[in-house]
Amino acid sequence: MSLTAPLAGLGQSVLRSRALAALTSPHGVDRYLEQINPMWAATEVRARIVDIHREVDVPGHPPVATLTLQPTSTWRGHRAGQHVQLGVEVEGARRTTRVFTISSPDSRPGDRFQVTMRANPDGVVSRWLVERATPGTTVHLSQAQGEFVLPDRMPEHVLFISGGSGITPVMSMLRSLQRRTHRGRVTFLHYAQSPEHQIFAEELAETARTGHGVDLHLMHPELGDPNLSPAFLERLVPGYREVPTWACGPAPLIEGVQAAYDGSESLQIEYFKPPRRASADDAEGAVSFTRSGKEAPNTGASLLEQAEALGLKPESGCRMGICFSCVATKTDGTVRNVLTGEESSLPDEEIRVCVSSPVGDCSVEL
């Protein structure tokens, strides 16, 4: 390691040099390196799947798995609680990218890390990764992202609240604290459907047994445990509104937590959005153009026309779907291709706004 590290560092600075950029212009160094080995990169981040481990496998329910990833040396590491965009080539052709939370403790540049995900029945990427991917497969990554992280100086007492697969960033935090040999107190409150649905069950049981300052509460409201409420939180952690808290989970849980904290600055939250399904009728809902902050009821016309009706001037050309001048990112909602009638509900999808009309609520980066 001590020998290869300076060499790798030198290699990286050569690969990222202006001279090599000029020689490989206009395509860039990575477009050549990837032809030799997908794990060689100058700026892009990719990873090889090293291991796929089923965390939860309840018959009739979507399974949960942890993937261990060996990133390229371009990976800058992550802070516990962050997420990463992960793109896979489904059927060897269409790269589809989704965001997943990293469940392993803080990583340094080039370090292996893990993501844990539930195979969402409607999700192309998570289902493919959990059910079909095999070790050795290459995936595409972004750098780690997100502000839902622990501070460098840890407070004496912290509270973690999570629900379902929202446990992943919190687990990364807990593991990092254990690795940092955190001396303070951690109260960890987690909501799951049932003990069989518990992700990281064994590790949590071990944590509960050995203690080490972690006060663990696994709750199953469907089996009679109390729901989250200010009274319950007060009983668990007196004066909880003053305790630095990190909460992650489905929208109803987060809304409950926000209400309980009543605007307290101690609370940090992270949601995950379930994909919105298409509604039956056409011109329903509202269209919002997120960059300009404009919003209006959906008229059923193409997104380009609706944007222009609001006074926006998005780049466009042929207005018939052939020139691709007007491609924009739809962040949320369903659109119908007016040429083919095809509907699509994928989040963060590139669409041609001149031939896409919204079906129900829709957000576009314009």
Stretch that binds another protein, among 94-102, 154-162, 205-213, 292-300 (CB under 8 A): 94-102
Scanning 51-59, 147-155, 207-215, 314-322 for contacts with another protein by CB under 8 A, the matching segment is 314-322
Q: Which residue has the tokens 């949320």?
A: 332
CB of 342 to another protein, least distance (A): 8
Name 342's Cβ contacts closer than 8 Å, sequence gap at least 6: 336
95 part of the interface to another protein, by CB under 8 A = yes
In the list 5, 10, 14, 23, the residue contacting another protein (rule: CB under 8 A) is: 23
Q: How far apart are CA 73 and CA 39, in angstroms?
A: 8
Q: Which of 5, 50, 274, 324 binds another protein (CB under 8 A)?
A: 324
The pair of three-digit structure tokens given for residue 42, joined into one six-digit string: 């100058």
User: Measuring CA to CA, how many Å separate 50 from each of 112, 118, 179?
Assistant: 9, 18, 22
Q: Encoding tokens for residue 346?
A: 């994928």
CB of 24 to another protein, least distance (A): 8
Q: Of 221, 283, 317, 343, which one interacts with another protein (CB under 8 A)? A: 317
Contact between 251 and another protein by CB under 8 A: the answer reads no
Q: How far is the C-alpha of 68 from the C-alpha of 50, rounded, in Å?
A: 5
Does residue 131 interact with another protein by CB under 8 A?
A: no
| CB of 97 vs another protein, minimal distance in Å | 7
Cis peptide before 26 (omega within 30 of 0): yes
For residue 26, the minimal CB distance to another protein (Å) is: 4
Q: Judged by CB, which is closer to another protein: 109, or 317?
A: 317
Tell me the C-alpha distance between 115 and 276, whole Å. 23
Of 33 and 186, which CB lies nearer to another protein in the complex structure? 33
Closer residue to another protein in complex, CB, 91/262: 91
Binds another protein (CB under 8 A): choice among 38, 77, 87, 347: 87
- Regarding 340 and contact with another protein (CB under 8 A), the answer is yes
**Does 85 contact another protein by CB under 8 A?**
no
Interaction between residue 14 and another protein (CB under 8 A): no
Using rule CB under 8 A, residue 108 touches another protein: no
DSSP-derived pairing of the beta strands 327-337 and 349-352: antiparallel
Count the helices and strands in the chain (H runs, E runs).
Answer: 9, 17
Residue 277 sits in the site that holds another protein (CB under 8 A):
no
Of 2, 35, 134, 181, the one binding another protein by CB under 8 A: 35
19 contacts another protein (rule: CB under 8 A): yes
CB < 8 Å & 24+ apart, contacts of 289-298: 289/363, 289/364, 289/365, 289/366, 290/331, 290/363, 290/364, 290/365, 290/366, 291/365, 291/366, 292/366, 298/358, 298/360, 298/361, 298/362
* Cβ proximity of 163 and 193 under 8 Å: no
Does 1 help bind another protein (rule: CB under 8 A)? Answer: no
Contact call for residue 25 and another protein (CB under 8 A): yes
- Residue 33 three-state SS: helix
Q: Which run of H or E residues covers position 286?
A: strand 286-289
**Shortest CB 222 distance to another protein, Å:** 38
Question: Which residue's structure tokens are 């052709």?
Answer: 93
Distance separating the N- and C-terminal Cα atoms of the chain: 48
Minimum CB–partner distance for residue 38 and another protein (Å): 12
Segment lying near another protein (by CB under 8 A), choices 17-25, 51-59, 168-176, 267-275: 17-25
Interface positions with another protein (CB under 8 A): 19, 22-23, 25-27, 31-32, 34-35, 87, 89, 91-97, 317-318, 320-325, 327, 339-340, 350
